[in-house]
Structure 1
C-alpha cells in the first residue's frame, strides 16, 4: 500500500523538477544567444557600462561606487543569513523526535512513511545549503570589486574589463542562489502532498517568464543599436 501511495511522489515531484530545470536551461540559452531580450542580459550590459564609467571618473564617483556595492552586499548577506537560519531549523527538525516530522494530515495524497518525510526535509536542507553557498561566494566576489573599482586607470592588470568580470561572477552566483531559494518553495509544499508541488511549479514558470524577459520589438531594437555602438 505504501508503494502505491508513493506513485504520485515518484511521478509529480521529478516532473516538477524537470519543468523548473528545463525553463532555466532555456533561459540560460536565451541569455547566451539573445542577451538583450532578457532582463539578466540587459542588466549585465548595464553593469559593464557602469563599471567603465565609474573607473574613468573615479575621483568624483568613488563614493557612489562604494555605496552601490555596499547595498548589493547587504542584499546577498540577507539571503545568505536567511538560508543558513532555515538550514539550522531544518537540521533541528530532522534530528528531533517531535511529531512535527510526521504528516500534518493523513488524508493528503502521496506517501507518508518515515523515509519519505525525511527525504522531503533533507531535500529542503540541501537546497538551502546550496543557496547559502552561492550567496557566500557572491559576497566574496563583490567584496573584491569593492576594492578594485577604485584602482587607478593607468593599471595594466586591474582593468575595467577585469572588474566587470568579477562583478558578473558575483551577480551570477547571486542569481543562482536566488533561483535555488525559489526552487525550495515547491519542496516546502511537498510536505502537504506532491500535487501542490506540480501546481506550484506550473505557476512559477509563467511568473518567472514575465520577470526574466523584455517585451516589445521597438525596445529590443533600440537595445541592439546601443550594444552595436558600444
Structure 2
C-alpha cells in the first residue's frame, strides 16, 4: 500500500526546486527595479515601444511594420502548434503509467515509482504545456490587433488608438510570447522529474544558471571595456622608408 511517506523525497525535491526558481526571479525583479534594462526583457520592451511610436509617426513604414508583425505572428503560431503537439504527447504518456513508471526510475537512487505519483508528475507537465499554448495563442491574438491599429490614419481620434496605447498592446503580445517560452524552459525540469527527484533538483539548478546567463543584458560600455585590452594591440613603430634614388645618389 502506497503512503504519503513514500512521496516525501519527491515532495521535498519539488519544493526545493520551486524555491530555487522563485529565488532567482526575486533576484531578477530586485535588479530590474533599479535598472529596467538590466534584463533582456526590459530592453525588448523598450525596443517594442520605440518601434511602435516610430512606425505610427511615419506612414511610409506601414509595409515594413506589417511584415514584421507577420513574422512575429508566424513565430507565435509555430510555437502554439508545438505546444499543442506536446499536450497530445503528454496525454499519450499518461496512459502508459503502468508500463514505464518503474522503468524510468532505474537510475533513480531514491523516490517512489508509484502510479499515483507518476500521474501527478504528468499532470504538472501537462499543465505547463497548456500554459505555453495559452500564452502563445494570446500573443497571436494581441499581435493581430496591433496589425490594424498601426495603420490607422486618425489615431488621434480615440485614446485607445494612440501610439502609447498601441505600444502597451504590443508589450502584452511580447510578454505573452516570453511567458510561453518560459513555460517551455520549465518543462525541462518537469521532464527530468519523471526519472527521479534528484534529476529534478539538478536540472532546476542548471536551468537557473542558464537563465541567469540568458536574461542579463550587459551595458555597452562594460562590454567594450572587456574587449578593449584584447582587441587593441600595440603596433610596432614602422621603419623609416628611404627612397632608392636618395640612398644611392651620394
Paired position in structure 1 for 2:214 = 211
When normalised by structure 1's length, the TM-score is: 0.86
Paired position in structure 2 for 1:61 = 61
CA RMSD in angstroms comes to 2.2
Deviation at 1:20, TM superposition (A): 1.4
When normalised by structure 2's length, the TM-score is: 0.80
Question: Considering only CA atoms, is the larger Rg found in Structure 1 or Structure 2?
Answer: 2
> In structure 2, what is the Cα distance between the partners aligned to 1:105 and 1:209?
30
Deviation at 1:75, TM superposition (A): 1.4
* SS of match in other structure, 1:151: coil
Unaligned runs of 5+ in 2: 224-250
> In structure 2, what is the Cα distance between the partners aligned to 1:192 and 1:65?
46
Which residue among 176, 181, 194 is the counterpart of 1:173?
176
For the Cα contact (< 8 Å) 1:187–1:197, is it kept in 2? yes
Corresponding residue pairs, total: 219
For the Cα contact (< 8 Å) 1:55–1:153, is it kept in 2? no
* SS of match in other structure, 1:155: helix
Which residue among 188, 192, 195 is the counterpart of 1:192?
195
Unaligned runs of 5+ in 1: 221-230
Deviation at 1:34, TM superposition (A): 1.7
After TM superposition, what 4+ stretches of structure 1 lie above 6 angstroms from structure 2? none
Paired position in structure 2 for 1:91 = 91
1:99-138 alignment runs, 5 A limit: 99-106=99-106, 108=108, 109-138=110-139
Deviation at 1:30, TM superposition (A): 3.4
